[in-house]
Amino acid sequence: MKRIVMFEGGVETLAYFAHRMAEQFERMGYLVFFYDLQDEERSAKKLRKFIRPRETVLVTFNFQGLEKEAGVYRAGIGYIWDDYGIPCYNIAADHPYFYDDRLRELPQDYHHISIDRRQQAYFKEFYPEYREAGFLPLAGTELAAAASGKRYDVILTGNYTKLSFFEPYINWINDEYAAFYRGIIDDLLAHPAQTVEEAALAHCEREMGKEPNDELRIALHKMIFIDLYVRNYWRGLAVRTLVNAGITVHVVGKGWEELEDVTNPENLIVHPQTDSLTCLRMLSESKVSLNVMPWFKDGAHDRVFNSILNGAVCVTDTSKYLCEELSEGEGVCYFTLEEIGRLPEIVRELLADEARLRETVERGKKKVREKHTWAKRAETLAEWIEGKEK
């Protein structure tokens, strides 16, 4: 199998990931075709010319090409992937409960790839009707040319949503449900080592008893705002803790102008949302990159690997997988959400010791280059694809 279909023209970050994987696929001898979601009519014609039955596979992120797009799906007929018997490998860049409405009517040869091992276990339990292909965490990209100097002490690349935004979702049914949702949120804020599904399922069982999985997965899909609430709570708290302690933080993304309870606003420098390449360049100009996991308790975020590969020490909360892959001082300095008040001390100690910053980055960069680039992920996925064909 030597032909791979991938997607661009949707979410910029996912297209960037796909192109980095494609570079390695091509080095390995694959032909790669990019279907442009912004130009479906032309792409659909080119796609049919590119496809060779039994030689072609789809590799996509977040169900692109699997959402009944006009160029690849016809009502009453189905997907082009089924017409030609094309295996579909989908890297879900978030928890399965975000995608419950999409995990329906998929092509026959669908393979689900998880970026977190806890999410993988959830998928196996709640979606047994689909093939689970494996665990493939997010990865990093190293710029060809390093920055000539460091312009920023501390940076965080990512958006922020103010917590009041979620109030209509908490209150969307009635007061009883609102109290139920707030109970789950309070539990997660008090015990942040839990996954959202662990807390939510425990509260559901206490309130309603043991429900069948098909009902629970629908209920969890309706509670994705809880995931987003706790993510933004901790991300905002991490930035605010540093800023209010007198440490200047450069944030790159939407929504930071609305960060609540900032007492030292002069220390919060907001840069507009930008593309992946610009974020990498800004990371290369930074000494410390702040990361708060988007509730990946047994996976890793690309922000961690991008930071290290481009010369910034990543100060991050922990996950089981990340701690297995990178020990303290191997590109990372860890903190726990429970002790987030220690962040200013951790960051000040790093910024005061240029030699430690350099040594920490170099120790981590070697390991990340060996295991955690998109080229390495492409190699792993190619092994899975070729193994299936044998």
- Can you read off the two tokens belonging to residue 123? 């998928």
Q: Is the pLDDT score of 211 beyond 90?
A: no
Burial 302-326 (b: 16+ CB within 10 A, else e): bbbbbbbbbbbbbbbbbbebbeebb
Give residue 210's pLDDT.
78
209 has pLDDT over 60: yes
The whole-number pLDDT of residue 250 equals 98
> Residues 346, 289: one domain?
yes
Domain contains 134: yes
In a domain, 368, yes or no: yes
| Domain span holding position 366 | 152-164+227-372
Out of 221, 236, 252, a domain closes at 221
Note the pLDDT tens digit of each residue in 316-329: 999 999 999 999 99
Cβ proximity of 283 and 155 under 8 Å: yes
* pLDDT tens track for 56-107: 999 999 999 999 999 999 999 999 999 999 999 999 999 999 999 999 999 9
- The pTM of this model reads 0.96
Co-location of 38 and 111 in the same domain:
yes
The better pLDDT of the pair 389, 146 is held by 146
The answer to whether the CB of 195 falls within 8 A of the CB of 118 is yes
Residue 221: its pLDDT value, please? 96
| Average pLDDT, integer, range 228-248 | 98
Say if residue 158 is in the same domain as residue 189: no
pLDDT tens digits, one per residue of 254-266: 999 999 999 999 9
Q: What is the pLDDT of residue 181?
A: 97
> What is the per-residue pLDDT for 207?
84
Distance CA(162)–CA(233), nearest Å, equals 8
Residue 146 lies inside a defined structural domain of this protein: no
What's residue 332's pLDDT?
Answer: 98
106/51 same-domain check? yes
Radius of gyration of the chain (CA): 22
The answer to whether residue 389 scores a pLDDT higher than 60 is no
Judge if 130 and 184 occupy the same domain: no
Residue 144 maps to a domain: no
CB 301 within 8 A of CB 279: no
**pLDDT value at residue 88:** 98
Mean pLDDT of 297-322: 98
Residues 248 and 352 in one domain: yes
- The distance from CA 146 to its chain's CA centroid, rounded to whole angstroms, is 25
Q: Cα(335)–Cα(343) distance, rounded to whole angstroms? A: 7
When the pLDDT of each residue in the chain is averaged and rounded to a whole number, the result is 96
Reference 71, options 5, 149, 146, 137; nearest CA is 5
Q: What confidence tier does 1 reach under pLDDT thresholds 50, 70, 90?
A: low
Query: With 90 as the cut, is the pLDDT of residue 146 above it?
Result: no
Q: Is the dihedral of CA 51, 54, 57, 63 positive or negative?
A: positive
Average pLDDT of the segment spanning 163-167: 98
Judge contact between 356 and 119, C-beta under 8 A.
no
> Are residue 279 and residue 238 in the same domain, yes or no?
yes
Q: What is the mean pLDDT of residues 215-242?
A: 97
**How many domains is the chain partitioned into structurally?**
3
14/129 same-domain check:
yes
| Average pLDDT for 103-114 | 97
Spatial CB neighbours of 199, under 8 Å, sequence gap ≥ 6: 184, 187, 188, 191
In a domain, 147, yes or no: no
The DSSP string of 22-45 is HHHHHHTT-EEEEEETTSHHHHHH
- Residue 94 shares a structural domain with residue 189: no
Q: Is residue 90 part of a domain?
A: yes
Task: Let me know the angle formed at the C-alpha of 149 by 346 and 277, rounded to the nearest 5 degrees.
Answer: 90
Q: Per the domain annotation, does 145 fall within a domain? A: no
- Answer yes or no: do 187 and 270 share one domain: no
Half-sphere exposure of 155 (CA within 13 A, CB side): 29
The CATH number of the domain holding residue 293 is: 3.40.50.2000
Residues 263, 217 within the same domain? no
Name the DSSP letter for residue 75. Answer: T
Instruction: Say whether both 23 and 75 belong to one domain.
Output: yes
Answer whether 63's CB lies under 8 Å from 90's CB: yes
Share of the chain above pLDDT 90, in %: 94
Question: Do the domain assignments include residue 275?
Answer: yes
User: Pairing state of beta strands 249-252 and 110-114?
Assistant: unpaired
Task: Return the pLDDT at 390.
Answer: 47
> Cβ distance 244 to 265 under 8 Å?
no
The pLDDT tens digits of the residues spanning 345-355 come to 999 999 999 99
Lowest mean pLDDT among 4-18, 144-158, 258-272: 144-158
